[in-house]
Amino acid sequence: MIHRLSTTRLTWYSLAALIALLAAGMPLSLANKSVFTALNHENLFDWLGTSWQEAPLVTAWFTGLCLVAFILLVNGVCCCLTRQLAPAIKTKGSRQWLFLALHLLFLAVLVCHGLTLGLSKKSSQVTLFAGQTHKALGYEIKVNQVVFSDEIAILTAPKNHQRKMMVKERVGLDHNWAQLLVDPKKNQNDARTLYMLSPLRQDFFQATITEFVYDKKKGQPGITLNFTRNYFNLFFFSVYAVMILALAGFTVLTWKKPALGR
């Protein structure tokens, strides 16, 4: 059984199915924008409970995607055990060991994807203004200050116009920021500054600005935040970086110069 699960044929079938499902996800996402957006903002099992009622086709697509990824994972494990490990033990060269390491790193990345998706906790689309406090995922967050230095008209425009107005000539990422305190009772003097593409990270907790908003009544800007708590982020990115380096090393070792013609 393990030999059947390790075949290259199963690998190609799984990869073909994965590519087909990812391609099918493009028109699905356009037809079900709110459901796909909710997947990014909600915990996985909460999303599955609601999406099955709202968009069963999307839920079936996502389930199929996870199933194919799991088959590819099993195929990779079996391949390492039956096809990669023995040659690596027998040979004295580094090429076969590096090839095995590439397989193991790919499997680790695949597992991290699954763990991140299934076990990470989220609290999304929380809008806060200066002076407000919010509790999320076991942390208390206080917004000390929100600064939006570009044109306020960008924030007050309709949503479909905002994207057209948010070009680098009119919006500077380093001009607009917020200052936050995590657990303000414990860390009163440890305010952290975050920008649109530079989230706040503390331990396994992360706060990310998704957009700046403007309250016309208060006459002040605010921020919309996504909060996540993920125990595998650091490990995942570390493994990913090592895999890229290993792939580059394997390419260098196996590179063959083309023969020069006469």
Pair of tokens at residue 144 = 């000390």
The string of pLDDT tens digits covering residues 38-67 is 887 778 888 888 888 888 999 999 999 999
Specify the pTM: 0.69
Pair of tokens at residue 194 = 């975050």
SS3 27: helix
Alpha-carbon distance 178 to 220, whole Å?
13
SS3 226: strand
Phi, psi of 186 (to 5 degrees): -90, -35
Pair of tokens at residue 67 = 């199933």
Q: Residue with structure tokens 């570390």? A: 238
Q: How confident is the model at residue 85 (pLDDT cuts 50, 70, 90)?
A: confident
- In eight-state DSSP terms, residue 93 is S
The string of pLDDT tens digits covering residues 146-184 is 988 877 887 777 777 766 666 655 666 778 889 988 886
Edge-to-edge, what's the strand order for the sheet holding 121-129? 121-129, 220-229, 205-215, 200-202
